[in-house]
């Protein structure tokens, strides 16, 4: 399987994770906590305060990006250890991705994903500092919640089927990038973003449904070892971007 063909799906998965019902409504609270400022303060605050919120947000996304990339390295390395069983690993992973998708569609409950696992990180740094924000981002990256876990888990399955630590790091890095961009946009305009988030929140369950359907479809292609069809489709879809040349930069 060509890793470069999975760059766009991994990026889209990051965006969907940001729009998950357990992520998007919490964004203003995350930004306020890591920066020590509320949305109201940011809306009427000085340029210096807005810069502080943005750079704390940047430190936060760097924190969870490092964790996600390490997850990708580990998943890719595990796939590398069993090259002779790559096909079965892909099929088993596809079955799990289908289960993740059905879980997001509410077909059944998975207790493992219904709990949240998070390290209790107590940093020695003051609230509002960049190092504290980085540590909290790393703690966020270790949390598995009902609506983040299935998408992240599916990307980890793809990373494992690639069979190299570098491919795993690339996929999870792109996933983290997709999650980071809207987060940083919200950090750049916290007060305005909070109002926009309040308007979007009623529609987030629809986003979860779409995500669940996409995971079921992805799982089917993995289970039937038909990812070549997806790869060919991605190349055709992005042919207008000269995708073959674009992926050489990764």
With both helix axes pointing from N to C terminus, report the angle between 27-35 and 165-188 in degrees, rounded to the nearest 10: 80
Question: 60: which residues sit within 8 A by CB, 6+ positions away?
Answer: 30, 31, 34, 133, 134, 136, 137, 140, 183
d(CA 160, CA 206): 29
Identify the band that residue 67 occupies on the pLDDT scale cut at 50, 70 and 90. very high
**Per-residue pLDDT reduced to its tens digit, 193-221:** 777 888 888 887 888 888 888 889 888 88
Residue 37 has pLDDT above 60, yes or no: yes
According to the model, what pLDDT value does residue 227 have?
67
Check if the beta carbon of residue 98 is closer than 8 Å to that of residue 219. yes
Distance, in Å, from the CA atom of 57 to the CA atom of 68, rounded to the nearest integer, reads: 17
pLDDT at 247 over 70: no
Mean pLDDT taken over the chain? 77
**Nearest-angstrom CA–CA distance, 87 and 223:** 9
Q: Which of 42-51, 225-234, 239-248 has the lowest mean pLDDT?
A: 239-248
Identify which has the larger pLDDT, 231 or 171. 171
pLDDT at 198: 81
How many angstroms separate the CA atoms of 18 and 27, rounded?
A: 9
Give the least confident one: 43-47, 203-207, 225-229, 244-248: 244-248
Tokens standing for 19?
A: 């729009």
Phi, psi of 126 (to 5 degrees): -65, 145
Query: What pLDDT was estimated at residue 10?
Result: 86
Alpha-carbon distance of 34 to 7, in angstroms, equals 30
Q: Choose between 7 and 227: higher pLDDT.
A: 7
- Taking the C-alpha atoms of residue 208 and residue 147, their distance in angstroms, rounded to an integer, is 8
Nearest-CA neighbor of 31 among 175, 140, 122, 124? Answer: 140
Tell me what the mean pLDDT of segment 12-36 comes to: 82
């Amino acid at each position: 399987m060509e890793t470069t063909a999975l760059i766009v799906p991994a990026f889209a998965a990051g965006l969907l994770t940001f729009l998950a019902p357990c992520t998007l409504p919490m964004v203003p609270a995350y930004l306020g906590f890591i920066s020590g400022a509320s949305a109201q303060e940011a809306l009427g605050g000085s340029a210096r305060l807005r810069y502080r919120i943005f750079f704390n947000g940047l430190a936060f996304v760097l924190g969870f990006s490092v964790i996600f990339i390490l997850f990708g390295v580990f998943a890719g390395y595990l796939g590398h250890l069993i090259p002779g069983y790559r096909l079965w690993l892909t099929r088993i992973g596809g079955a799990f991705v289908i289960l993740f998708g059905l879980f997001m569609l509410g077909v059944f409950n998975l207790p493992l994903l219904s709990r949240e696992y998070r390290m209790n990180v107590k940093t020695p740094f003051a609230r509002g500092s960049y190092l504290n924000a980085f540590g909290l981002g790393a703690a966020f990256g270790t949390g598995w919640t009902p609506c983040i876990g299935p998408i992240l888990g599916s990307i980890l399955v793809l990373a494992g089927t690639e069979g190299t630590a570098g491919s795993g790091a690339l996929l999870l890095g792109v996933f983290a990038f997709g999650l980071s961009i809207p987060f940083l946009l919200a950090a750049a305009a916290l007060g305005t973003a909070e109002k926009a988030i309040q308007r979007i929140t009623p529609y987030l369950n629809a986003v979860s449904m779409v995500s669940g359907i996409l995971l079921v479809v992805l799982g089917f292609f993995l289970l039937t070892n038909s990812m070549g069809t997806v790869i060919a489709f991605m190349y055709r879809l992005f042919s207008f971007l000269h995708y073959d040349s674009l992926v050489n930069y990764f």
